[in-house]
Structure 1
Amino acid sequence: MPASDPAVGAVEAMIAGPEDPDYATSWNPATRVVDVRRAPGAIEVDLSADARTASVGSGLAALMVQQLVYTASAALGPQRPVQLLIDGRPAGELWGVLTWTGPEHRDPPVDVRNLVQIDVPAEGAALHSPVTVRGDAAVFEATLPWRVLDTSGRVVRSGTAMTAEGQRFSPYSFRVRLPAGRYVAEVREDDPSGGEGGPAMTDTRSFTVE
């Protein structure tokens, strides 16, 4: 498959890891993507043997599976399950903690995704004011607190955005006017329990206003 194929490129980017420091990958960066293709009843992702090397427990291993399933199916069809091949053969036992022998479907997004996600701006983007921040979130009563911090950590702007629907992933956006400088936008779950349900999930993006 050509190196320019978008499905191959998506899996390669997943293995390489994100530029956003809020996210990470446990896939071995030496792993080579042999092929990503639609097959009867599934998407087949064929990786080199380096994919077998990862030092993870069962919880993180399950997230690695879903990371690959979401990545490949985003490129070739979200309803299609994903079969992992290692050098052309079904993966079988992986990382000493699980077995991947048949096609795997996406788990519900609220079980595997960060509940708040910034899609725009890109990490490290250079922008002009006003700045638009948008993404997806699954939050209580569709309420999403946000704030913008300067390089000293001081809050320079704050507010609340509303998602299109509560408790389910749906889009949000807000605009904020800022003078020239470097900033971090932060979105956070609204937490009416005061922390009793565990730490609130957040996402951040660093950017510069020119």
Structure 2
Amino acid sequence: MRSLPPAPTPRNGACAIRDVKAQRIAQRYRTVDKIAIAALSVTLLLGGCTSGNGENHDASMPATMSSSAAGMVTSAPLETATSAETLPVYWLGHSNDEVFLYREFRSSTNADEPIVAALRTMMSEKPLDPDYFTLWNSPSRLGASISAKNVITVDVSADAFGQKVDAGLAQRSMSQLVYTATAAAAMAGLVDTTTPIQVSVLVDGHTGYKAFGEVSLDKPLTRNPDFVAPIWIIDPAHGSTYKKVPLKVTGQGVSPTGTLAWSLSLVNDGKVSGDYLSGTVNIPAGPDELGEFTFNLVPPPGSYELSIFVNDPMLPGRKIGIDSKMVTIANP
């Protein structure tokens, strides 16, 4: 599942406000990275973690307003409606020392309505990207409904909460449910996206359950932007194969400068070599704003690791907020 150069000469007005905001975010980025060096292995720094429904996952994570999570993403807009039979599913994933939410799109393979289908996938299946994971168990019962007041009610059996985790991961897992449910409803055109959407979670038909033994479900939940990944690759999907180029890369990210760095590395016998291609891409939304980006690549046939990240200008070579995907360009 982040820094700026030294502060320029002081300026007045709106420009000064933006500079202060950028410097604060940059400091958070440096703090996250320093902690990561001490706490995580090289593999984890590159975004690795074990996939699967709670198999070999982290057992603890900072709680809601930890300094490493707060302020990176300040808003998380809803997905837009689409006619495609595609399910948005959010997973947990590492970025440096933190765990954030990342989204994958999955094909609908059952007759459930969209919200239930997306939540069932989230709770019962594994993510496509092995860097992602989930702590939910497959529930014996799952249902969803939407009220006229734009409240989604999810009713799930208690056996979905089988994992033992701390408050930080419990909060992230409940946000995972909220993001998946609201995304599925928005994409299916089932809710009014111009007004706030709440998610009320019942367990075996009752309110007040303590999810994962940590989060009390006594009131409706909403999207928490603190847990959204600062960078993620939407396309290509992990493990995908393409027979035609250019390879169109799309994703979502935030950067203090409004610019992200990317690299494409060759993969031989499962081992990633040095950068084959590298460059930068702008986020049209601008500095400090979460937005989508896109660019094209024209590599020759082969297997590659595509990585997108923020370059730390204070520490050259340091990759912050990295997300990576494996992709194959096949012979036509």
> What is the aligned partner in structure 2 of residue 156 from structure 1?
276
> What is the aligned partner in structure 1 of residue 135 from structure 2?
26
Cα 1:193–1:38 shift into 2, 3 Å: farther
Q: Does residue 1:54 correspond to 2:163, yes or no? A: yes
TM-score (norm 1): 0.89
Which amino acid in structure 1 is aligned with residue 256 of structure 2? F
Aligned pairs (5 A) from 1:123-202: 123-127=238-242, 128-151=244-267, 152-154=271-273, 155-164=275-284, 165-194=286-315, 200-202=320-322
| Mapped contact 1:48–1:86 kept (Cα < 8 A) | yes
Q: Does residue 1:116 correspond to 2:231, yes or no? A: yes
Aligned pairs (5 A) from 1:6-25: 6-15=114-123, 16-25=125-134
Cα 1:21–1:4 shift into 2, 3 Å: same
TM-score (norm 2): 0.58
Cα 1:37–1:192 shift into 2, 3 Å: farther
- Matches of 1:209 and 1:48 in 2, distance apart? 43
Identity of aligned residues (%): 30
Aligned pairs (5 A) from 1:36-55: 36-41=144-149, 42-55=151-164
- Matches of 1:150 and 1:175 in 2, distance apart? 17
- Matches of 1:62 and 1:35 in 2, distance apart? 21
- In structure 2, the residue corresponding to 1:67 is in which secondary structure? helix
Name the stretch that deviates more: 55-64 or 78-87.
78-87
Cα 1:126–1:33 shift into 2, 3 Å: farther
CA RMSD of aligned residues (A): 2.0
Runs of 4+ deviating beyond 4 Å? none
| Mapped contact 2:251–2:293 kept (Cα < 8 A) | yes
Deviations 1:75-94 (A, max 9, x none): 22463111111122225212
Shift of 1:64: 0.6
Q: Which has the higher contact order (CA 8 A, sep 6+)?
A: 2
Shift of 1:33: 5.0
Deviations 1:6-52 (A, max 9, x none): 21111112112311112111112x22452122025410111122123
| Mapped contact 2:114–2:185 kept (Cα < 8 A) | no
Cα 1:81–1:112 shift into 2, 3 Å: same
| Mapped contact 1:116–1:203 kept (Cα < 8 A) | yes
Which amino acid in structure 1 is aligned with residue 111 of structure 2? A
Deviations 1:81-137 (A, max 9, x none): 1111112222521222221111001112xx101100100011111112221111100
Pick the structure with more strand per residue.
1
- Matches of 2:259 and 2:148 in 1, distance apart? 42
Aligned residues: 204
Unaligned runs of 5+ in 1: none
Q: Does residue 1:105 correspond to 2:222, yes or no? A: yes
Cα 1:3–1:89 shift into 2, 3 Å: farther
- In structure 1, the residue corresponding to 2:280 is in which secondary structure? strand
> What is the aligned partner in structure 1 of residue 325 from structure 2?
205
Cα 1:33–1:123 shift into 2, 3 Å: farther
